[in-house]
Chain A
Amino acid sequence: MAMIEIQHITKKFGSFTAVNNLSLSIESGQLFGFLGPNGAGKTTTIKMLTGLYEPTSGHCFINGHDVHWTPLEAKRSFGYVPDQPFLYDKLSGREFLHFVGGLFGMPYESVKAKVDEVKDYFEIGSFMDKRAEEYSQGMKQRIVLSAALMHNPPVLIIDEPIVGLDPRSARLVKDVLKQKTKEGLTVFMSTHLLEVVEELCDRIAIIKNGRIIYEDVPAQRNGDLEEMFLELTK
């Protein structure tokens, strides 16, 4: 069954078409890599997928729910990590996780248990009681990732997960993504880092000027991904 289904979505900003008639289908348990040069339409696609933008035309389905017609059901089915992980400066990481748990309607005991779980998973225990004002990009990223997994969603939508992370944090995130995918999580990941794609992704698509120009399964592909990416996107 397709966990994420994008049907002919187009997004126009005035006369500029950011995403043009894009369709994709991602199966349950897949780690999907969404590649493209800057300004290709990756973040716009993700924002439509998460309900932050309304498509000019077309539909997005998550776990069978139309993001724009049944947004609440769709939103309960995914966790989202944006490219800029803005937090509330005046709240601590722990408070932020409790806040997100509350927004997803999780009862107190479940939130508490889940916070303890993600605390170990993402090694955030040492700073999670400090206010977010003092966090580095990597710390924020780990808190936001933890928040995205708080409600055990079947889908994770993640925009540039490794940017700004130190090598240890990057390893941690990659391991979590691998582990969670094995457990059945479907991941839609946008990234610039080709080595991450090669290491993690079951499937990739390259977007340029709002259109998918290439789709592939990295494991079956012969040749250098970087060379091919540069060739396709020049």
Chain B
Amino acid sequence: MRELLVVLNTRAQSFLKHAFEFRWQSLVQNLSSLLIFGGFTIAVFFISRSVTDYAMSQAHIGLFLFHRFLSMLLYVFFVTVNVGNMIVSFGTLYRSQEVGFLMSLPISHAKIFLIKFVDNFFYSSSTLTLIGLAVLLGYGSYFDMPWYFYFVVIFLVMLPFMLISGILAVTALMLLIRIGARIGFRLLLMLLVGAYGASVYAYFRITNPMALVEDVMKLWPNVNDYLGYLDPQFVKFLPNHWVAEFLYWSINGDPARAVPYLALLVLTMLGLIAVAGLMARKFYYESWLAVSNLQAAKNNSASKPPGLFRLDGKNLFSPKLDALMRRDFWLFFREPSQWLHLVLMFVLLLMFVVSVATMNIRFDSPGMETNAFLIVFLFNGFLVASICLRFIFPLVSLEGDAFWVIRSAPIVMNRLYWYKVLGSMGVVLALAETLTISSVFLFSQSVYLTTIAAIMMFFVVLTLVGTNVAAGGYFAVFKEKNPMRIASSQGASLTFLGSMVYLTFVSTLLVIPFNRYFQQSEFAGMATPHWMHWSFILIGLISMAIFFLSSFIGVKALRRSG
């Protein structure tokens, strides 16, 4: 226990020293992050409150259905925390140099596992926690819940809920690495991606939200009654259901029926921690060795990579451009945490497009049509923002300790910056436009809307790529080698929140023109939406202004860094 406390104490001291170190730059960064985080939290709080208000007071969906939707959202949240923890934990528990150092000390493997798990959990879940808490506050305030409700929900419901997800992820990873050492990591990865996809699909297939809405609405006006018999049996074993049930009974003022769910969550969390500790004692070192051996075998193999992009292959472009492109290509595809995450993101994108394509929803009003269209567009924007955060933001930081090579070579920093911006923009734009065109067209069947969405997406990509490269340079962390940790740093969270503010702004500008477009389509035959273009021009102008301003900051940051 003593060594565990020593390690945790050292980490806490290091964190506090870093947090309270006075520098003007860090003061400005902290203040601006406080402002943006604060603003974002307040915005999420009000959105959560308004959505609850809308569902309960205007749509009258009833408490039962509302909490079943909440349960579904919590399931997505659970899977997101789980995936995040699994990906980040591969870096923190198996690849970090600190683990190698700790392994050389007389500390038990289970304790190293625990230390790194805590590290991993806070790194990969902090932004999600913030969003979760803001949603909870908005929800609670609508129902006028007392102060201790929030305390109980935060520490005894949400924390155990997220920890269950996190522990399951790292424990599963420990076992998967052992299996991967036998069956091969590529096959394992495919199985894992398939398993995540299948679990999300199966969950929504079995819970069947559409059928649930119809079943509940048949019982109108008794929609506030507890209709637990409508729940499929299997959901009763899921932690998201326990959280939803706890909230439902708390809102109904029935603690006797709420507390068992709280107990279930806490006991499951404690049980899983104990199981994870026991398994770590037996398997963590073994799995760590398996990863180290695999890495060493890979590094010691003197085979040359095949293909066009070989660094020692003939030039396709100018030598400088060629060298940079090929280096980036290989650094990306030789880092499992990079391509692994990319594959997962592709699967998510595919699932989204397929879901949109197979949706069969009838809209009763132009307002609903506008909301649905904006949600699809916004979700596309959100995916692009996530891709930018995860892959574009770390670009400058990933120059790392070896940045001296470029800085001492005859390379103009402006050109290096534009290479990063334009190179990433090409890739993200292709992806974003494919996503937008396929999802919007499949959803709306309108060539006009698809064209507009594609043009708007161009500006979204321009802004998000520009700001992410620039902010990545401004908040560069050259010492950090793990791209996921760079993408979850304070600067990255700040950039992501900025992206969300921008997307909200774009959507707000699109609400009125699209609402009028749908109204005209509905009531006056074909629309003639020439007046809509002013909103689009405004979005374009503001996006370009943000892009050029961020480029100016980014170039300056790149020149002074390294």
A84 within 8 A of B: yes
B411 within 8 A of A: yes
For A107, give the chain B residue with the smallest CB separation: B319
A200 within 8 A of B: no
Q: Is the CB of A90 within 8 A of B314?
A: no
Flag A53-66 by CB within 8 Å of B: 1 or 0 each.
Answer: 00000000000000
Stretch at the interface among B12-20, B26-34, B322-330: B322-330
A211 within 8 A of B: no
For B481, give the chain A residue with the smallest CB separation: A89
Q: Is the CB of B408 within 8 A of A102?
A: no
- In the bound assembly, the distance between CA atoms of A102 and B410 in angstroms comes to 11
Beta-carbon contacts under 8 Å, A58-81 to B:
71-73, 75-76, 80
Given the known interface contacts A130-B300, A134-B299, the answer about A75 and B327 at a Cβ–Cβ threshold of 8 Å is: no
Q: Is the CB of B405 within 8 A of A103?
A: yes
Q: Is the CB of B331 within 8 A of A88?
A: yes
Within 8 Å CB of B402, what residues of A? 86-88
B409 within 8 A of A: yes
Given the known interface contacts A105-B319, A107-B319, A130-B300, the answer about A52 and B408 at a Cβ–Cβ threshold of 8 Å is: yes
For B404, give the chain A residue with the smallest CB separation: A82
Given the known interface contacts A52-B408, A72-B410, the answer about A102 and B299 at a Cβ–Cβ threshold of 8 Å is: no
Q: Is the CB of B401 within 8 A of A75?
A: no
Within 8 Å CB of A142, what residues of B? none
Q: Is the CB of B320 within 8 A of A102?
A: yes
Stretch at the interface among A33-41, A92-100, A187-195, A221-229: A92-100
Q: Is the CB of A134 within 8 A of B330?
A: no
A131 within 8 A of B: yes
- What is the minimal beta-carbon distance from B256 to any residue of chain A, in angstroms? 58
Question: Residue A105 contacts which of B318, B327, B400, B406 (CB distance < 8 angstroms)?
Answer: B318
- In the bound assembly, the distance between CA atoms of A82 and B406 in angstroms comes to 13
Within 8 Å CB of A94, what residues of B? 311-312
- What is the minimal beta-carbon distance from B222 to any residue of chain A, in angstroms? 62
- In the bound assembly, the distance between CA atoms of A190 and B410 in angstroms comes to 23
Given the known interface contacts A95-B312, A101-B323, the answer about A52 and B404 at a Cβ–Cβ threshold of 8 Å is: yes
B296 within 8 A of A: yes
A216 within 8 A of B: no
Q: Is the CB of A130 within 8 A of B302?
A: yes
Q: Is the CB of B408 within 8 A of A75?
A: yes
- In the bound assembly, the distance between CA atoms of A100 and B327 in angstroms comes to 10
Question: Residue B311 contacts which of A84, A95, A104, A147 (CB distance < 8 angstroms)?
Answer: A95
Given the known interface contacts A51-B407, A75-B409, the answer about A101 and B319 at a Cβ–Cβ threshold of 8 Å is: yes
Flag B283-309 by CB within 8 Å of A: 1 or 0 each.
Answer: 000000000000110111111100000
- Most chain A beta-carbon contacts within 10 A, residue among B295, B304, B324, B404: B404
- What is the minimal beta-carbon distance from A90 to any residue of chain B, in angstroms? 4
Within 8 Å CB of B411, what residues of A? 103
Given the known interface contacts A52-B404, A86-B402, A88-B402, the answer about A102 and B302 at a Cβ–Cβ threshold of 8 Å is: no
- What is the minimal beta-carbon distance from B274 to any residue of chain A, in angstroms? 36
Question: Residue A50 contacts which of B315, B323, B335, B408 (CB distance < 8 angstroms)?
Answer: B408
A133 within 8 A of B: yes
For B405, give the chain A residue with the smallest CB separation: A100
B412 within 8 A of A: yes
Given the known interface contacts A52-B404, A99-B323, the answer about A90 and B315 at a Cβ–Cβ threshold of 8 Å is: no
Within 8 Å CB of B367, what residues of A? none
Flag B115-134 by CB within 8 Å of A: 1 or 0 each.
Answer: 00000000000000000000
Given the known interface contacts A88-B331, A98-B312, the answer about A104 and B400 at a Cβ–Cβ threshold of 8 Å is: no
A174 within 8 A of B: no
Residues of B within 8 A of A (CB): 295-296, 298-304, 311-315, 318-320, 322-324, 326-327, 330-331, 334-335, 400-402, 404-412, 481, 562
A–B Cβ pairs within 8 angstroms, 13 of them: A71-B410, A72-B412, A76-B410, A86-B402, A88-B331, A91-B311, A95-B312, A98-B323, A103-B323, A107-B319, A108-B314, A111-B312, A111-B319
